[in-house]
Structure 1
Amino acid sequence: MTEETHPLSPQDCLVALMIAVSMSDENVRTSELVKIDSAVNMLPIFADFDTDHVRSLASLVADLFEQEDGLDALFGLIRDNLPERFFETAYALACDVAAADGTLREAELRLLEEIRYELDIDRLHAAAIERGARARHISL
């Protein structure tokens, strides 16, 4: 019996989702990149993550977005490689990236809705996560 290997680690999945949210409106903003970089450098879940891997994940997401069923393929990779206990973490990180520039665009909102559906995030939990992201990114 051979050991099955996965193309993405759980941390890769989290970063890929953050990148997908940033790319969703076809305009990657500096504030979103800073948010991704900050999460990867500061959060305990990324303690042993190789930050040099972010560039290859961005390339993977961009390649998937160019394909007709690329979003479905991305979600397939996420479902196959991200343990369920990290689903709410993934959604929280995605919300933080979407809120980073202070404006939620239609494409970002659609992708967040799709992430909620694909990861089966309870609507009440999603609302709490969204409210937390909004509170953290409010400006004067």
Structure 2
Amino acid sequence: MAQPTAHEALIYLMVVMSAADRDMTDAELAIIGETIRNWPVFEGFDDDIIAVARQCQQILQEDDGLERILNAVRDVVPAKLHDTAYAIAVEVAAADRHVEPEEARMLHIVRSRLHLEPLVAAAIERTAQARRRRL
């Protein structure tokens, strides 16, 4: 796998999170599109999102695909944006207002891989929960 750009690595991370429970929901796909269109970290990204997602799926089919993707996220996304990467992962996991056990496990793996402080990760997770609450 050629080293992805930081934008591609973040999209890979969103695809991994969406596929963690083997069910890519419409809500998760909507969050992925919304994130790419609206988050400042994606400014300047104008590649084909579908092509990048397909690349990710191809990599995931390989024996060490998940490891390679997680390592790429850690290595190509600047350390100052690791909390942003985690926030993106949490947004996708929480898109349908319920985090499946597989998604929770994947978030734990991402947290560890990005070496996030527990309080930072907890704050990001709590913010995503608060944003999705209804009366």
What TM-score comes out, normalization by structure 2 length? 0.92
| 2: CA distance, partners of 1:130 / 1:139 | 17
**Which runs of at least 4 in structure 1 moved beyond 4 Å after TM superposition?**
none
| 2: CA distance, partners of 1:73 / 1:107 | 19
Match of 1:24 among 20, 32, 40: 20
| 2: CA distance, partners of 1:44 / 1:78 | 17
Pair 1:45-2:41 in alignment: yes
Which letter does structure 1 place at the counterpart of 2:6?
A: P
Question: Unpaired segments of 5 or more residues in structure 2?
Answer: none
Q: Aligned residue for 2:3?
A: 7
SS of 2:124's equivalent? helix
| 2: CA distance, partners of 1:91 / 1:80 | 14
Q: Aligned residue for 2:69?
A: 74
Displacement of 1:51 in angstroms is 4.8
Question: Unpaired segments of 5 or more residues in structure 1?
Answer: 1-5
Listed one character per residue, the Cα deviations across residues 7-63 of structure 1 (whole Å, up to 9, x for unaligned) are 3221211111111100111110000011011111111221210152x2122112212
Contact persistence 1:102–1:139 (CA under 8 A): no
Match of 1:60 among 55, 58, 68: 55
Pair 1:33-2:29 in alignment: yes
What TM-score comes out, normalization by structure 1 length? 0.89
Q: RMSD over aligned Cα, in angstroms? A: 1.4
Highest CA radius of gyration, 1 or 2?
A: 1
Aligned residues: 134
Q: Aligned residue for 1:105?
A: 100
